[in-house]
Structures are given as C-alpha cells and as structure tokens.
C-alpha cells in the first residue's frame, strides 16, 4: 500500500491519506520495511498521511507511539480516527506526534445529548488545540448541532 501511495504521489498533485490497520503496524519488521521504502522515495513525504485507528493506541500504545515518531522523523504525517469512540486515548495524545484527528459527526450528535458527552467533546477539542492537532470532521460542520460547532470552533 505504501509503495502504491508513493507512486500515486509521484504522478499526481496534492496529498494522499492511507489507512493502516493495527495488525499491520505491529508486525515485527514492518517499521523497518516502511522506513526503507520511504527513504528510497523521491516524493515530498509531507504529502503522505497515514491514518490509524484510536483503538490501536489503547491496545498497543507503545508500538503506535514508536511508529508515529518514526513517521514524523521521516516527514510523513499521521492522523488518528475514532478518537471520540476511544476517549481514553486523550491521555496519550501528546506522545503520538499527530497532524490531525478525525471526528465522526454521528458520534458528535450522540455526545451532545448528554452533559457528560458535551464535557468529553470539550476535553477532546481543548486537548487537540493545546497540542496543535487539527480536528477534521467526516462531514460538513453544519451537520452537527450548533452547541458542538461552538465547541469545535473555539
């Protein structure tokens, strides 16, 4: 997948996001293999984004942290999806060197229905802002309640 992504980047303008699964990145030799592949590439690696699932941070935090740091050192950007579904990952966010997190508008709509959910959304938004991690939504911001829009725009 990484080699195909690099070929696409060489032939096209713009950035590219590829999703990687936890079983892939925790394979014993995977980190060495991807670093070797990336080091041979002539493309601007800052155009490549690798998106991971927040579950992986809960299940294999140390391995994910090492992977994220290695990718940042090579110029590749890393994003995280499903943070709101795995809110405990907020405790480790500062160790991951993330460029962005992706929030589901469906999950946000559920969260704003309870005071606790609203507080968790505030905590996630504030933590990302403090760390300089961009928040991306999987749909237009107008599809979430105004209360949530205010939190995310703050």
- Tell me the per-residue pLDDT of 72-93, one tens digit each, with 9 for 90 and over: 999 999 999 999 999 999 999 9
**Rounded Cα distance, 143 and 28, in Å:** 42
Classified as helix, coil or strand, 140 is coil
The answer for residues whose C-beta is within 8 angstroms of residue 149's C-beta and 6 or more apart is: 141, 142
Going by C-alpha positions, the residue among 102, 100, 104, 103 that lies closest to residue 76 is 100
The pTM assigned to this predicted structure is 0.92
Tens of pLDDT along 4-29? 999 999 999 999 999 999 999 999 89
The H-assigned helical ranges of 13-104 are 22-25, 30-40, 54-59, 61-74
* Residue 131 clears pLDDT 90, i.e. is over it: yes
């Amino acid at each position: 997948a990484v080699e195909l992504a690099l070929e696409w980047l060489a032939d096209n303008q713009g950035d590219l996001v590829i999703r990687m699964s936890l079983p892939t990145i925790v394979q014993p030799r995977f980190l060495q293999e991807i670093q070797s592949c990336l080091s041979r590439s002539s493309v601007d690696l800052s155009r490549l984004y690798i998106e991971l699932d927040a579950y992986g941070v809960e299940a294999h935090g140390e391995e994910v942290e090492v992977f994220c740091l290695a990718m940042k050192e090579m110029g590749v950007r890393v994003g995280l999806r499903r943070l709101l579904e795995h809110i405990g990952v907020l405790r480790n966010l500062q160790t991951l060197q993330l460029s962005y997190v992706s929030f589901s508008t469906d999950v946000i709509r559920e969260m704003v229905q309870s005071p606790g959910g609203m507080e968790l959304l505030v905590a996630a938004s504030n933590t990302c802002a403090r760390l300089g991690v961009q928040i991306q939504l999987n749909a237009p911001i107008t599809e979430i309640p105004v209360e949530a829009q205010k939190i995310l725009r703050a």
